[in-house]
Each structure stands twice: as C-alpha cells, then as structure tokens.
Chains A and B, each alone.
Chain A
Amino acid sequence: MAATVTTESSSTATFDRRSWMGGIEPMKASYGKLMMWFFLISDTFTFSALLVTYGLIRFSFPAYDPAIYGAFKFSNEYWPTPDKVYNALPFLHGLDAPLIFVGIMTFILIFSSVTMVLAVEAGHRMDRADVEKYMLWTIVGGIAFLGCQAWEWSHFIHGTEQGTIIKEIIGGQTVSRTIFGASLVENQYGPPAFADLFFFITGFHGTHVLSGVVLNILIFYRTSFGLYDTRGNYEMVEKVGLYWHFVDLVWVFVFTFFYLV
C-alpha cells in the first residue's frame, strides 16, 4: 500500500511536522468524495444484509425440479423459477415474455449511468451546457426506471388471471382457496418469503433510485443557476455521480440474484 502519510520532501529519519498539521490527503481524494465512498461502503453492508438473507432463505427452500413436481405451476411448496413469475409486459396482456421487462429496466439504468458519467466528464471541462444536458438525461432515465418499477410492483401485487389454488388446514379440515397476486402474508407465486424478499429488496433499491433522482434534480438546478461555475469546480456532480453509479451497481446484483439465478 503505497500512499501512507508522507510528503515528497520529508525524509524518514526526521519527524515531519507538516504531516500532522492537517491538509494532507493520504487517499488523494477530497473530503467530500472520501465521505461519499465511506457512505457507499456502509450502504453496501445494508444491501449485502438483504442479499445474504435472500441467499439463506432461498437455499432453505426446495428448488423447482421437473422430475419431482412435473410441469411448472405456481405452488408454495417450492421456490418459483423467475422467468415464470416475471413474464408480463405493459399493454400486452396475456403475452408470455419472460424477463423482457426487467431487461428493459436494466438497460434504462445502465444507460442513465452512462449519461451520468458523461455529465461528470463535462464537469471536468467546466462545460455547463453539457453538464445540464447529461444531468437531464440521467433524471429522465431515473424517472423512467421508477415508472417501470411501479408497474412491476402493481402487476406482482395483483397477480395473474387464474390465480393459484392453495390448501389450508382450518379447524382440522383442509380448505382450498384461490389467491391472486402477492402481499407480505400471501403469495400466489411461491412461498410467502419469496414475495417478502421481493418487496424488501426491490423496494429498498427503488427508494435509493428515488433519492438519487431528487439529488440529481438538485444538482441540475444548481448547475443551471451557475453555482458550480462560481465555485470553480463541478465536484458535486462527481459525488452525486458516485451515488448514482452505486444504485446502478446494486441493480446489477439484484438483477442477477433475483431475476436470473
């Protein structure tokens, strides 16, 4: 690890007073950027906690196996295959389009990450018009993603047309009942834990996207009023950019562990 607290002029033999007077950046990053990184690592722990919980619960349930259960149908006896659950598209009711919608969402988020990094690059050049343009595209991407997620949640909550018949033991007797969609206590697609994890993980991520959009709007507003030109640097764009890329990064993991595996 190369960068410890030493300045070029100091020799190792003498005590270097300047190193202890403040103003030294051992990590070669400004205070604000460093704190953003440390916030992000703590946020990583929070998301990891959710994903670790998902891993534990997922492996404590049987996986769907055609040799044991026959053709796939929703049942709370086993964990469902994701492409059977997430197979709907808005305006195309009844069409079986596995994972297409979540693919579109992934594309939107990756693309908004690209426009964000282009805004950061424009900030390095002090090009206000370009920063405004790319920030606006990033905001549009974020709002589009949130809209998609709202639709996805609504579809998940309302369920399929046929619903799923579940058997319950009430007062010593087995009663059959059809349930539609999912809530925190009932789930037509599989075990209730599956819906709980879906709501918590995508919900927590969606909250992050929402705060990201609010921050982006704030930065766009301040850019267009020339605050960063007066200040002489566009570092705020970089810091919020770090947050926005983190949100994209979390989605990469959610996409793999929730939708693909």
Chain B
Amino acid sequence: MAKHQHNNTAVVSHEPSSQVKTIWKVFFILLGITVFEFIIAFVLQPSYLKTSIFVGLTIVKAAYIVGEFMHLKHEAKSLFWAILLPVIFVVWLLLALMLEGGHIFTDRL
C-alpha cells in the first residue's frame, strides 16, 4: 500500500544500495555450490550418499534463490508459509512415487 502513496515523489538515487553486496554474495555462493557439485559428479561413484549430497545442495541453492533473489525470506510470515507448505506436500508425492517406481521395477523382473 505504501508503494502507491509516494507517486512521483520518489527520490532518484544513482548510488547502489547495500543490497548489491548481498546479491553478489549469493551469486558466489550459488556458483561455489555448482562447482562443488561438478567435482562430486566426477569424484564419487554412484551411491545413496552421492544422490543425497546432490539433493541437499540443490535444496540449499533453491533456498538462496527463493529466499534472497525472490525476497521470500523477508516477506510476511503468512506469505512465506503459503508458498512453502504446498511444496512440502509435493516432496512427499515425489518420494512416494519414487518408491512406487522401485516396486514397478521389482515386479517387472
């Protein structure tokens, strides 16, 4: 609401704010994680450990993108949970159907 009230009175500033520092920090974190994922992809043999590392790092990357770039971390708590809760159920569906896929595999043998 506050946004609509300062029509045409907003101050123009050509100095980058302190936010810019955070943006670049997040960029280097994302870059670092991706590089690390690449190293893991070639160093480790396929295993549950390797898969869990990938999934864990992906969630960390997603948290930075949604939390900082999409600003969700700084939104009202009700908006934050309105977005996050449905996603938790999606993860449940994903896990359930992956297990189901495993059973299809054993039944095919």
Alpha-carbon distance between A117 and B49 when the two chains are bound, in angstroms = 34
Contacts of A55 in B (CB 8 A): 94, 97-98, 101
Beta-carbon contacts under 8 Å, A20-68 to B: 23, 25-30, 34, 37, 40-41, 44-45, 48, 51-53, 55-63
Q: Check B43 for interface membership: any CB of A closer than 8 A.
A: no
Alpha-carbon distance between A51 and B91 when the two chains are bound, in angstroms = 10
**Inter-chain contact B17/A233, CB cutoff 8 Å:** no
Q: Check A73 for interface membership: any CB of B closer than 8 A.
A: no
Known: A3-B76, A26-B76. A103 touches B82 (CB 8 A): no
**Inter-chain contact A44/B90, CB cutoff 8 Å:** yes
**A: interface residue count bin:** 35 or more
Alpha-carbon distance between A242 and B83 when the two chains are bound, in angstroms = 13
Contacts of B37 in A (CB 8 A): 256, 260
The smallest C-beta distance from A33 to any residue of chain B, in angstroms, reads 9
The smallest C-beta distance from A85 to any residue of chain B, in angstroms, reads 13
Known: A28-B76, A28-B79, A51-B94. A118 touches B23 (CB 8 A): yes
Residue on B nearest A113 in the bound complex, by CB = B69
Contacts of B31 in A (CB 8 A): 107, 110
Alpha-carbon distance between A245 and B63 when the two chains are bound, in angstroms = 12
Contacts of B1 in A (CB 8 A): 23, 25, 30
Q: Check A196 for interface membership: any CB of B closer than 8 A.
A: no
Alpha-carbon distance between A1 and B78 when the two chains are bound, in angstroms = 6
Q: Check A99 for interface membership: any CB of B closer than 8 A.
A: yes
Residue on A nearest B78 in the bound complex, by CB = A3
**Inter-chain contact A56/B19, CB cutoff 8 Å:** no
B1-25, CB under 8 A of A: which get 1 and which 0? 1011011111111111101100110
Interface residues of A, Cβ cutoff 8 Å to B: 1-4, 23, 25-30, 34, 37, 40-41, 44-45, 48, 51-53, 55-63, 81, 83, 98-99, 103, 106-107, 110-111, 113-114, 116-118, 121-122, 124-127, 129-130, 230-233, 235, 241-242, 245-246, 248-249, 252-253, 256, 260-261
Pairs across A and B, CB under 8 Å, 14 listed: A41-B86, A48-B93, A52-B97, A56-B100, A59-B99, A103-B38, A110-B27, A113-B65, A121-B17, A231-B7, A252-B65, A256-B58, A260-B37, A261-B54
